[in-house]
Amino acid sequence: GGAGQPGGVQPRGGARQAARAGMRRAVALFLAWSSAVCRDASGIEVFVKFGPKEKKCYGEQVAKSELLVAEFATKDGKKVNVTVLSPHVTIFSEHKREKVKTAFTTSEAGPHWMCIHNEEDTASEVWMKILAGPEAKDYSQIAKKEHLEETQVTLRKVEEILQNYHSNVLYIRAREERMRVTNDSTAFRVIGFCVFNVVLMITVGGWQMLYFKRFFRSKKII
């Protein structure tokens, strides 16, 4: 008779099937996590109430060369002023509009501010939507243009989210390094100022002692 398979040893075909099944489960879990990440990073979308003549600003921390899309619309048809500011300059400004939409690629990293000013004498409510980075892109159009499947689109979005996160981390590190250099420079100046004060006080004290000694000798007190 033919020799049977030893107990506890799986055929090669069964091992390959198990490996493939494990790989499929790992890919499925990764895609599920990717979808959750993409859904969670959905930007800002809120209704904001403004009192008469009130101005409010909302900031978004973005990296350099990152797409930023901002939309505004008044709920009651009233007109507002909208200004978008980078860390150093004004990027966009519209006055007395019911609806405003702007999209641009940032030229520098840092906080970008969206300011809304209600110049009316009555209260108003404004719908605001801000998307940054991968969340601001229309991946359905990218999928049609590049003929990508849903899995590829998800992977592309996750890749760009991670790249964006990495850029933000690099920006934060660079900012912390600048702050550390500034703190070290300030501490050095403070120490130098303290040393100068001590030397000055000792010099003035010594001069006063010599002055009074000469004064008392001239008056023959000592």
Task: Give the list of residues 6+ apart from residue 155 with CB closer than 8 angstroms, or none.
Answer: 34
Q: What is the pLDDT of residue 24?
A: 59
Tell me what pLDDT residue 37 has.
45
Are residues 155 and 90 in contact, defined by beta-carbon separation less than 8 angstroms?
Answer: no
- pLDDT confidence of residue 40: 43
What is the reported pLDDT for 15? 64
The closest alpha carbon to 128, from 110, 106, 101, belongs to 101
| CA dist., res. 161 & res. 44, Å (int) | 16
Residues 6 or more apart in contact with residue 43 via CB below 8 angstroms:
129, 130, 131, 132, 135, 136
Given this model, what pLDDT does residue 105 score?
87
Structure-block tokens of residue 54: 């009130």
The single-letter code of the amino acid at 15 is: A
- What is the per-residue pLDDT for 153? 75
Q: What is the pTM of this model?
A: 0.54
Give the pLDDT score at 13.
Answer: 57
pLDDT tens over the chain, length 222 residues = 444 444 444 455 566 666 666 665 655 555 555 444 444 444 688 889 999 999 999 888 887 888 888 999 998 888 999 999 998 889 999 999 999 998 888 888 888 898 999 988 899 999 999 888 777 777 777 777 777 777 877 787 788 778 777 877 888 888 899 899 999 999 999 999 999 999 999 999 999 988 888 888 887 776
Residue pair 53/121 in contact (Cβ under 8 Å)? The answer is yes
Query: Residue 35 has what pLDDT?
Result: 46
Residues 6 or more apart whose CB falls under 8 angstroms from that of 142 comprise 148, 153, 156
